[in-house]
């Protein structure tokens, strides 16, 4: 069986999926509240697992 690559989200797509603005997501990253992975160009990327963690965290801060 082959290992399929995990879906990755860039900042724009992650923010849209989370229901926040891109700037809000950048602020969370800058403050260290959210820790994205990095792609080969050192851009922040989020995996599906990251997105689940962030959604769970986001619900606790309401």
Please state whether the predicted TM-score (pTM) of the whole model is above 0.85. Answer: no
Q: Is the pLDDT of residue 7 over 90?
A: no
pLDDT of residue 61: 81
Look at 47 and 1; give whichever has higher pLDDT: 47
Q: Whats the size of the chain, residue-wise? A: 62
Beta-bridged to residue 47, according to DSSP, are 8
Ordered by where they begin, the domains of the chain are 8-60 (1.10.1660.10)
Going by pLDDT thresholds of 50, 70 and 90, the confidence category of residue 4 is low
Angle, to 10 degrees, between the axis of helix 22-31 and the axis of helix 11-18?
100
d(CA 42, CA 32): 17
- pLDDT over threshold 70, residue 53: yes
């Amino acid at each position: 069986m082959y290992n399929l690559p995990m879906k990755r989200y860039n900042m724009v797509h992650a923010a849209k999926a989370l229901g926040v603005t891109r700037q809000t997501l950048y602020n969370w990253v800058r403050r260290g509240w959210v820790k994205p992975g990095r792609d080969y160009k050192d851009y922040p990327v989020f995996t599906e697992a990251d997105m689940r963690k962030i959604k769970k965290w986001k619900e606790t801060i309401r």
